[in-house]
Structure 1
């Protein structure tokens, strides 16, 4: 039974990723306003009905990569050393993800630029981030320490995600002339003053 569930979940994840990639490719080629859910479904080789089982609309399909990126960040924060403050755990998780390897994937750049050009996509992205912000606040609260209170955990999570958004926008505006990691460090240093206390 577990093997069957594992295969089923893997198949669902593969379908979500295929739909996301199709949505991203079509949007880059034709522009968001000229891409329909039907076209995305056709490109992903699924039915319109199947598309609806995975995503509420084309914006959600496009932003699936952002959601996965932040979920990976949540997992990395959970595995950081328990003695780190919440802010340091957040910074460490970002550093591990974006400063140690090859940096962010090209899709991230594309999604960031698309969101800046399309208000409907930006609105959906902000709504997704609000949901993920609550999850991140819960992870921070679970770590305990001085960030364990509900208010402090929520403020820390919100500030951190805003800092990441600002850094990403600056990076795309600068045409990637600096490393994203460098810009993130600058923005997070600025944001850290009220949060990075022992």
Structure 2
């Protein structure tokens, strides 16, 4: 009974977030609903898991879309994105993109969302005293970020998205790339 109620709640929550047009996600949700109504609970669970994976993939693609184009004097590789287990041992979504200048220096932006490890780091980033011990506090738009001694930049968006800008390029280049990220898109605004 409890499992049935949980399955129904999960299904209803997914239906509420599903877009109105037909796509792979809504197809999987519809399949889950039909299986559930037909008493095929394992098939319903599998279809719900598929829908969740597809939602995570879409979320990872949205993370990648927030990464900036190459700044003047730089070239950019294609952005890559992964979801769930591929993003790390703890799940979530991840996207990254690497940039290179004429001196062959690189900047890599990595964005990770909805990973339990982020919650642990969020406590540090939210406290200016602790964050300051990790490096120099800088502002990236409205966000507080940490720029470490090596110039790498770390910041938290919407308390669930970790952005790390690293590489062997100068610190000012890393900060410029951090400021070029579409933070509003990352946060889903």
Work out whether the TM-score is over 0.5: no
Higher relative contact order (CA 8 A, sep 6+): 1
What is the TM-score of this pair, normalised by structure 1? 0.29
The structure number with the bigger radius of gyration is: 2
Structure with greater helix share of residues? 1
What is the TM-score of this pair, normalised by structure 2? 0.30
Structure with greater strand share of residues? 2
